[in-house]
Every structure is written in C-alpha cells, then in structure tokens.
Amino acid sequence: MSLERVTDPRVVDPKLTIQISRVRENLNPLPLPQFMTSGASGCDVLDDLEKPLKIKPGERALIPTGIAIAIPVGYEAQMRPRSGLAWKWGVTLPNTPGTIDSDYRGEIKVPLINLGKKTVTISRGDRIAQMVFQKVCPIEWKEVQSLDETQRGEGGFGHTGVNQSERL
C-alpha cells in the first residue's frame, strides 16, 4: 500500500492486511496488484500468461494471475472489469463481480469474454481486472408466511420505465 493512500484522510481503515503469494517461480516476477490512485477502490490485477493469448469476438478465456491470496474471515474480494478494456475493446468479465471467498487458497484466475468486434491480444503483465475488497455481512434466515407490503411490491425489470415520459 502506498504511503499516499495510507495518509489520505479519506481512508477510514488502512489496516486490512491481505497475505499474497506467487503460485509459481519466475525469473521476471510481475508487480503485485496496485491501487493506481489514492482514491481507487480497486487494485489493478495483472495477467501471468506464459505467451500472448488472442481472444476472438465472442470467445472466453480463463486468465491466470500467478497469485493466491488469504482474505480475512468476514471479507471477500470481488473481481471487476476494467472500464478501459470494456469500453475500448469490449473485453469484460462474464460473471461480474466475480467473488473470491475468504477460504479460497488457489490461484486467482480471471474469466474474460470478448464482446467486441475485433480479436484482442492479452500479453503477460496486462492489467486485466480490478480487485475490490468488501466486508461480508453474516445473516440468519427467518422464514415467514408472507412479507410486509411496500409501495413497489413485486415490480421489477423495468417497471418504472426507461424515460421520464413513461413515468407520467
């Protein structure tokens, strides 16, 4: 964690420690995930491909990162797309956000899908996703016969319309 991020007054709890390990030895190790600005909520994750990989339009690929992490109990990591990859190339994660549970210890792999019109080449060290850490709220189910009424009720999937004139 950079000094700038730790001393930023907006950072409420800079003390979350995440253990990280490289899953294979490499003579040219990649940088660990990094927060690129002091206000970034996600750290950029790099791929650890042995050779460049082409992803054609409509294709998916599971991309290794070369890292494994130990997330403290009560937290999860979420893998999210990078906006630049999605906007410029149509490359995104098909299961957004992808959840990494606190008890998972294997290599983090990132599924990518090319929704664009051109073949995209992913090369070793490219920033392919961002990882965000979130607290997890434990719950207890309470089964009931019916739920309390709300103004919205069961309305969903566009029931409020798309534009202002549909709401009048």
The DSSP-derived string for 69-103 is: EEPPTTEEEEEE--HHHHHHH-EE-TTSSEEE-TT
Look at residue 40 and tell me whether its pLDDT is greater than 50: yes
State if pTM tops 0.75.
yes
Predicted confidence at residue 10, as pLDDT, reads 60
Look at residue 156 and tell me whether its pLDDT is greater than 90: no
Give the other-Cβ count within 10 Å of 69's Cβ.
21
Give the sign of the dihedral formed by CA 139, CA 140, CA 141, CA 144. negative
Predicted confidence at residue 1, as pLDDT, reads 44
Q: Average pLDDT of 11-40?
A: 88
Instruction: Find the distance separating the first CA and the last CA of the chain, reported in whole Å.
Output: 50
Q: Which two tokens stand for residue 98?
A: 């992808």
Domain ranges of the chain: 3-138
Q: Confidence band (pLDDT; 50, 70, 90) for 27? A: confident
Q: Confidence band (pLDDT; 50, 70, 90) for 115? A: very high
pLDDT tens-place string over residues 74-105? 999 999 999 999 999 999 999 999 999 999 99
Topology at the third CATH level for domain 3-138? Deoxyuridine 5'-Triphosphate Nucleotidohydrolase; Chain A (2.70.40)
CB 60 within 8 A of CB 112: yes
